[in-house]
Amino acid sequence: MKSTVRGRFITLEGLEGVGKTTNRQCVADWLAECGIEFVVTREPGGTPLGESLRQLVLSAEGQMQGETELLLMAASRVEHVARVIEPALASGRWVLCDRFLDASIAYQGAGRQLGVERVAELHRLMGVTLEPDLTLLLDMPVADGLARMAQRGSPDRIERETLAFFERVREAYLRCAGAAPERVKVVDAAQPLETVQA
Ligand SMILES: Nc1ncnc2c1ncn2[C@@H]1O[C@H](COP(=O)(O)OP(=O)(O)O)[C@@H](O)[C@H]1O
Ligand SMILES: [Mg+2]
């Protein structure tokens, strides 16, 4: 019987405007050149239900408790892991994902101040134990990322947060990198795009 080698799971993380979506294409092109079969996806979202949850959680009008935001993000992730990410990895395809659990740790745990450990515990309770093989953390000063983001059009509910919120998010991301240096590679996203991509 032919055994399938499990695919690898790569995530892109970082604040608004650091270039996650831009560099996702670069990584995708590289995987394609290597002849690797892969799936490109994002969070929140990545499934029909997840994309509906994304609309709810990011729509600019809606007010919600931080806990509600966390639960919606986690719900999207549960669906995404079960229906898209795990099946792809099991079939040998690689998965390239724009944001994953580190984003909830950083945004809801630190940004919303719900507690990093609570966010991690919630995911364990929900059976989300999957860890990326590699996380590319695009890092740059908050204000510079927000300036890039501003060129992109009207901000969503989370993008309208305060500088202090994003500073907490950035610090939490960097702590994730410090705690798991083998998995999380920090890329200086303030460099010109060609340098970042190299
Ligand atoms: N290294 C870079 N230097 C200059 N501009 C960049 C760089 N990386 C991305 N950009 C630009 O910044 C904006 C935000 O990039 P985007 O990929 O949408 O960020 P994210 O997905 O992280 O929010 C886009 O207009 C993009 O072209
Ligand atoms: Mg993006």
- pLDDT band at 141, cuts 50/70/90? very high
Pocket test for ligand 1, best of 148, 152, 170, 187 (most atoms within 8 A of CB): 148
Ligand 1 pocket, residue 16 CB under 6 Å: yes
Superfamily covering domain 9-197: P-loop containing nucleotide triphosphate hydrolases (3.40.50.300)
Backbone angles phi, psi at 127, to 5 degrees: 80, 15
Expressed in angstroms and rounded, the spacing between residue 1 Cα and the centre of ligand 1 is 46
Q: What is the mean pLDDT of residues 47-58?
A: 96
pLDDT greater than 90 at residue 152? no
Distance of CA 146 to the CA centre of its chain: 17
Instruction: Annotate 116-168 with three-state secondary structure.
Output: HHHHHHHHHHCCCCCCCCEEEEEECCHHHHHHHHHCCCCCCCCCCCCHHHHHH
For atom 23 of ligand 1, the residue with the nearest CA is 17
Strands (E), 43-121: 94-98
pLDDT greater than 80 at residue 62? no
pLDDT greater than 80 at residue 2? no
| Domain positions in the chain | 9-197
Residue in 18, 21, 17, 19 with CA at minimum distance from that of residue 156: 17
Please indicate, yes or no, whether the overall pTM of this predicted structure exceeds 0.85.
yes
Tokens at 178, concatenated: 């410090």
Expressed in angstroms and rounded, the spacing between residue 21 Cα and the centre of ligand 2 is 4
Tokens at 197, concatenated: 């991509």
| Rg, the chain, Cα only | 16
For atom 10 of ligand 1, the residue with the nearest CA is 19
Ligand 1 pocket, residue 139 CB under 6 Å: no
Determine the Cα–Cα distance for residues 15 and 21; give it in Å rounded to an integer.
11
